[in-house]
A and B are shown apart, each in its own frame.
Chain A
Amino acid sequence: MRNILIVARKEIQEGLRNRWVLATTLLLAGLALSLTFLGSAPTGTVGVRALDVVIVSLSSLTIFLVPLIALLISHDAIVGEMERGTMLLLLSYPVARWQVLLGKFVGHLSILAFATLLGYGAAAGALAVTGAEIDAQSWTAFGSMIGSSILLGAAFIAVGYLVSALVRERGTAGGIAIGIWLLFVLIYDMALLGLLVVDQGQTLSGGFLNALLLLNPADAYRLFNLTGSAGVSAFSGMAGVAQNATLNPSVLLAALAAWALVPLGLATLAFSRREL
């Protein structure tokens, strides 16, 4: 346990030093703040549900940005250190490989969580300061949006580690990471949509569709946030979907958690088998 914290601490120290923490926090805060105020300007709805509008726009932002940031930090974690030669020295110390990996995970996730919390928190704070009325239900939805964003980040960090543990070269890891991002964030949904259009609701069952949605962490995240709260789904145009959805929030959360844990376990396995 102590070794995990020692490694995590060093990751955070490095993140602070090479400005990763600063850059991601500023990026998320900047985008969140502009979405918050640009988003509410045209409709003029700085009303009771102002925060719900923000949740919708921020969760769309998260789907694009958080996986990208997570993969950027994580794809290099193992193969990069091996290529630079720092892993050789680290593993000669009294620390197990799974502890190194878990330590990195804790460190990277802390950086991402810090940036998300501060960046999105700034948007909600600014909204509250400008006098928008926000009820408890919206706050809960906002809180679970941040929590699930961090969980989405955890999933993509874990996927990044798995790539990093399997490939031989850093460049390959980078390429695969970008491919994974494109696949889950853009291509998957387009393909799914295409499938639905072609099928015309003839053969594909609802259960099959649900399974397809759970197989993509970004979709699980989207459904969780856009249909999770009645208030939010009204704004997201997902109200129809929300009524039909047979996936309840806890199933979606479990899918996200599985997307974090399974790749992390596989990455640990691949890493421990690797020769230096």
Chain B
Amino acid sequence: MTGTVEIRDVVKRFGKVEAVRDVSFSLPEGETVALVGHNGAGKTTLMKLMLGLIKPTSGSISVLGDDPVAGQFEARRRLGYLPENVSFNAALTGSETLAFYARLKREPAKSVAPLLDRVGLTHAAGRRVGTYSKGMRQRLGLAQALLGEPRVLLLDEPTTGLDPALRQSFYEIVEELRGRGATVLLSSHALTELEERAGRVIIMNRGIKVADGTLDELRRIARLPTRIRLKVTGTGLANVPNWLGPVDGWRRINGQMVEIDAAPDRKIEVLRRATDEGAPVEDLDVIPPTLDELYAHFLLTQEAAR
């Protein structure tokens, strides 16, 4: 099985700092992958390696069949990149800037206006980029990454600075490209945002890949408790263990609510009791572990293993 991006045993050292340690993964076509990790975990470094902007200390990388540092441009033409702090020359206008990048990718000049429209910059197309707000620059950055129907999109913290409306349409654009078979790798600290969007998550910690899989797979591995919230009627609150049976972790959160941390194998049991005829339960919510919690869990277990 070969993907559009193949990373094998890659190590990248900057002097004494080991930014990426022995990382391997493969990204297939038509998948959105989230790359998460704390500040300095090596996310940006991994993207730069895929772009051939820096050379790996050891290991091999292939992107669309090419070695990115070999100076082959065929792959780069089919690659879109949005750097984490995107910046442009202040003197040119938005459409001049995009036209420049389009020429470098050998895209026709007529592709510029529709792209600007897509990111909602048409009204500012004739203004100097120096006068743009941060969000507008980010939109322009997004527009250049989308030039020429990329097969691989590397987006480094793409939604920082975007307003909620564009955030929404940004994920729509990404989903559309993915649907047409593009590989999308996006790094972000906004984990809740990624939760519904990314088919797969790669968690990095200090340059090491600590977890890699779909959200469901990660939940299974982590065995984190599911939170169950019960709205209790009448006097039920006074004698919870009586009707719920012995549960490890439960607490009151207000005069009416009880929250239970149910381990994966106890989940169904707790739910059965709570929905039993005699149980004083009016309403319930089941909250699976969030990506935030999974992330924290994987970091902790890896730290403990060190």
Give the interface of A toward B (CB within 8 A).
Answer: 3, 6, 10, 13-14, 17-18, 84-86, 88-89, 91-96, 275-276
Contacts and interface: CB of A to CB of B under 8 A. Distances in A.
A14 B144 CA distance: 19
A89 B91 contact: no
Nearest to A18: B91
Contacts of B101: 93
B173 interface: no
Given A6-B103, A94-B104, A94-B105, A86 B87 contact: yes
B91 A17 contact: yes
A88 B76 contact: no
A14 B105 contact: no
A85 B83 contact: yes
B45 to A, nearest CB: 11
A17 B37 CA distance: 41
B77 A94 contact: yes
Interface residues of B, number: 30
B48 A94 contact: no
Contact of B86 (A6, A14, A89, A91): A89
B96 A84 contact: no
B51 interface: yes
Given A92-B81, A276-B48, A13 B92 contact: yes
A17 B92 contact: yes
Contacts of B243: none
26 contacts: A10-B92, A10-B100, A14-B89, A17-B92, A17-B128, A84-B87, A85-B85, A85-B87, A86-B87, A86-B89, A88-B48, A89-B83, A91-B53, A92-B51, A92-B79, A92-B81, A92-B83, A93-B76, A93-B101, A93-B104, A94-B77, A95-B73, A96-B73, A275-B53, A276-B48, A276-B54
Given A6-B100, A275-B54, A92 B92 contact: no
A13 B76 contact: no
A106 to B, nearest CB: 15
Given A275-B54, A276-B48, A95 B87 contact: no
Contacts of A14: 89, 91-92
B71 interface: yes
Given A93-B105, A275-B14, 8 more contacts: A10-B89, A10-B100, A14-B91, A84-B87, A86-B87, A88-B83, A92-B76, A276-B54
A242 B190 CA distance: 74
